[in-house]
Amino acid sequence: GPIPIPHRRKPSRYRRGTPPRTQTQAPRSLRISSSASEVTPLKPGRSAQQNSSSIQERHTKSNDKPRESMAASSLMTSMVLPSREVPSRAASAITAVPATSRVAPSVRCSAAAARRRHVALRRPGTTLGPPRTSSAVALAGAGAEATVAPPPMPGLPTTGLKDLSCCVEAQQFNREMLEELFIIADAMEGVKPGSDESKMLAGYLMSTLFYEPSTRTRLSFEGAMGKLGGGILSTESAGEYSSAAKGETLEDTIRTVEGYSDIIVLRHFSAGAARRAANAVPDSPIINAGDGPGQHPTQALLDTYTIYKELGRLDNIKVGLVGDLANGRTVRSLATMLTAFDNVSFFFVAPDVVKMGDDIKAELDAQGVHWEESTDLLSVAAEVDVLYQTRIQKERFGDRLDDYAAAKGKYIIDTAVMDALPLKSIVMHPLPRLDEITTDVDADPRAAYFRQARNGLFIRMALLKVLLKV
């Protein structure tokens, strides 16, 4: 048979004991010319001066290269030697991005500049919508892992927000003011502890006077002030644990607290209480955190902001308002605020004893806004972009317990309603809820009510910045 030929190992091109280089490790004989941004091999056996002359000579010749060739050379360099600024986990995905395309760090800019940037990056077919990805991620392609830089923090407002001295009614805000406030709220989402933005309200004090129970509104206001470096003076159950229990009037309480703080957040059980407080101290900012069955403008702000973030638009939407529409200050304020946008339609679904008030219907008619009432929750759910559920508020019925029993549990959002709801629609609720939304709906991605509550922090941070003129 044939004589077997012993197999010879292919000689390694590495010296014994020298580990092979990784793909991203540059050879020792390569250096980066700081002036030419290209790879220049250093010839062994030559002095540093000779090598320097060679580099200069190559740089002189490279001026004759076409621009595309130099750009390709620079791109190749960044691929071989990734920048230290890029995290190692994301280096392979982002190293092909030229240095000039990296996202700039968060800086303060004028509100007008932020507004121009915001408008220029709107999504197609929408009236409002900030960029959701950074330029680095967009250039690196889908699937790239990178930290998206927050939008820059705007300076002082340029729209009607600059003249806003208090926040007591939803009617105070027009479209331009809302759009600018939402730009500021977007920036507030990127505020990090210890940053310059987190100290913008240092030295300011906010008083929270809540004559009614609250969880989300009170904590989000206090959290907003704390995240921006301000101080908080708070009284829980002010009607019971303040001088109001001794008979002190609201006006006297507000005039007293004004001397201790720079801004006052008030929740009261009487409709119109926030306007009375604002009239008592015209030189101090007052924020209405809910006045009985009257208004809740900051809830309307965060609700409108949530719709804008979830749907990407505020024009051409259909909104279904469900539940206690007579006593629900949230839906009353939201209906008023959404009239600032184009082609908005409302569907009111409520028991007879808590139908939407005639004053809101008259306001919608005056603005030329379409609305209709229905008793069929499933048919409304199949049409709307936003299904806004509310709790039947037992505390508003007083001794009318029969009316409360007739209204409670009549309209419930469950899996059957979610099956009728379009896939791109959302369900909202100001919370707290009882049984008007079943818990098995929570896992549905269209259930936006907990994201809605979180947005309250950012919109209230933005409102504090605007009212305190910082």
**DSSP-derived secondary structure for 167-229:** B--GGG--HHHHHHHHHHHHHHTT--TTSSGGGTTTT-EEEEEESS--SHHHHHHHHHHHHTT
Residues 418 and 327 placed together within one structural domain of the fold: yes
Helix-then-strand count for the chain, H and E: 17, 13
Establish if 407 belongs to a structural domain. Answer: yes
Establish if 253 belongs to a structural domain. Answer: yes
Annotated catalytic residue, options 58, 122, 216, 394: 216
- Structure tokens of 95? 């190293």
Annotated catalytic residue, options 267, 276, 309, 332: 267
pLDDT at 385 over 60: yes
Which one of 240, 269, 295 terminates a domain? 295
Determine the average pLDDT of the residues in 25-31: 44
Identify the pLDDT of residue 85: 40
Annotated catalytic residue, options 118, 296, 313, 329: 296
Establish if 87 belongs to a structural domain. Answer: no
Determine the average pLDDT of the residues in 371-398: 88
**Residue 267 annotated as catalytic:** yes
**Residue 255 annotated as catalytic:** no
Axis-axis angle for helices 329-337, 297-311 (nearest 10): 60
pLDDT at 79 over 50: no
Annotated catalytic residue, options 8, 10, 15, 246: 246
Task: Work out the pLDDT band at 256, boundaries 50, 70, 90.
Answer: very high
- Total residue count of the chain as it appears in this document: 470
Q: What is the mean pLDDT of the chain?
A: 76
**How large a percentage of the chain has pLDDT more than 70?**
65
Task: Work out the pLDDT band at 212, boundaries 50, 70, 90.
Answer: confident
Residues 382 and 401 placed together within one structural domain of the fold: yes
Which has the higher per-residue pLDDT, 11 or 135?
11
Three-state SS for 50?
helix
Residues 432 and 328 placed together within one structural domain of the fold: yes
Lowest mean pLDDT among 28-32, 41-45, 173-177: 28-32
Task: Work out the pLDDT band at 4, boundaries 50, 70, 90.
Answer: low
Residues 314 and 426 placed together within one structural domain of the fold: yes
Which one of 295, 315, 333 terminates a domain? 295
Which one of 251, 268, 295 terminates a domain? 295
**Residue 217 annotated as catalytic:** yes
Burial class (CB in 10 A: 0-12, 13-18, 19+), 176: middle
Identify the pLDDT of residue 230: 97
Identify the pLDDT of residue 99: 35
Establish if 418 belongs to a structural domain. Answer: yes
CATH of the domain at 348: 3.40.50.1370
Kindly report whether the global pTM for this prediction surpasses the value 0.85: no
131-140 per-position pLDDT tens digit: 333 323 333 3
Lowest mean pLDDT among 116-120, 140-144, 259-263: 140-144
Establish if 397 belongs to a structural domain. Answer: yes
Identify the pLDDT of residue 234: 87
Residues 307 and 275 placed together within one structural domain of the fold: no
* Domains identified in the chain, total number: 2
292-341 per-position pLDDT tens digit: 888 889 999 999 999 999 999 999 999 999 988 887 788 999 999 999 99
Residues 267 and 376 placed together within one structural domain of the fold: no
**Residue 296 annotated as catalytic:** yes
Establish if 443 belongs to a structural domain. Answer: yes
Residues 320 and 405 placed together within one structural domain of the fold: yes
Identify the pLDDT of residue 142: 36
Q: Rounded to an integer, what distance in angstroms lies between the CA atom of residue 281 and that of residue 331?
A: 28
In 67-81, which positions are buried (b, 16+ CB within 10 angstroms) versus exposed (e)? eeeeeeebeebbebe
Task: Work out the pLDDT band at 253, boundaries 50, 70, 90.
Answer: very high
Residues 449 and 318 placed together within one structural domain of the fold: yes
Identify the pLDDT of residue 151: 82
**Residue 246 annotated as catalytic:** yes
pLDDT at 42 over 90: no
End-to-end CA distance of the chain: 94
Identify the pLDDT of residue 159: 95
Annotated catalytic residue, options 95, 217, 235, 253: 217
Separation of CA 315 from chain center: 19
Identify the pLDDT of residue 62: 45
Task: Work out the pLDDT band at 251, boundaries 50, 70, 90.
Answer: very high
Determine the average pLDDT of the residues in 242-246: 63
Task: Work out the pLDDT band at 170, boundaries 50, 70, 90.
Answer: very high
Residues 208 and 273 placed together within one structural domain of the fold: yes
Provide φ and ψ at 4, rounded to 5°. -70, 135
Burial class (CB in 10 A: 0-12, 13-18, 19+), 5: exposed
Residues 332 and 262 placed together within one structural domain of the fold: no
Identify the pLDDT of residue 13: 53
Domain residues for the domain of 279 are: 191-295
Residues 226 and 312 placed together within one structural domain of the fold: no
Establish if 116 belongs to a structural domain. Answer: no
Identify the pLDDT of residue 270: 87
Q: Residue 11 carries which side chain, given as an amino acid letter?
A: P
